[in-house]
A and B are shown apart, each in its own frame.
Chain A
Amino acid sequence: MANSSADKKTTTTAPAPPITTMAIVAPAIGWLIPGAGHIIQKRWIRGLLLLVSIVTMFVIGLVINGHVYRPNGGDILDILGFVGDVGAGGLYVISQAMGYGQGAIAHAVADYGTKFMIVAGLLNFISVADAYHIAIGKKP
């Protein structure tokens, strides 16, 4: 009983982050154009570095004949490949519209390309989350 007051747990909840226009627009535009979510919030250098890194990674993947996954309901790895690719946003849309990355994987380097594009998309998901955290003031 001596520690009864110490045993009481305070149940304070953090206030919900404010939903601002920027908190919606920044992640959306950041998904469409990698790094743009940072650039529109005036984080110029971060945004440009993200843009260059993610776009270069995706383009290298395309240039070395990597495979771009289409929406599919087949093998679990194909579904996950699509989820990764679609993270690249506008790059994925353009590659699908232009018919890039639809060839068969003929050599090991092309498989590196496939992985480069998936990882570029996944890195863009992280970038989008970061843009959101900046927009709600959780990160400077």
Chain B
Amino acid sequence: MNQPPTLSHFSAALLFALFASVVFGITQRNTPRDQFRYGVYCFVMFIGGVFVAGWLMWLLRR
């Protein structure tokens, strides 16, 4: 029986952040330079949010 490919939580978050950031960057800014900068900003915020949420959950668990 074929098992579906799996993703870790972190790799899923990375892919999600990458694709969402590309779309946000293109659609929310006008010039190519601003689009790139905003895309990078969104990506960093997504990944930063993952780490912050992860540490918060670690603190709550203690």
Contacts and interface: CB of A to CB of B under 8 A. Distances in A.
Contacts, number: 56
A24 interface: no
Looking at chain B's contact residues, the main secondary structure is helix
Interface of B: 4-7, 9, 12, 15-16, 18-20, 22-24, 26-27, 30-31, 35
Given A129-B27, A130-B26, A130-B27, A123 B4 contact: no
Interface stretch (A7-15, A73-81, A109-117): A109-117
A95 to B, nearest CB: 15
Interface residues on A, range: 20 to 34
Interface in A23-74: 46, 49-50, 53-54, 56-57, 60, 63-65
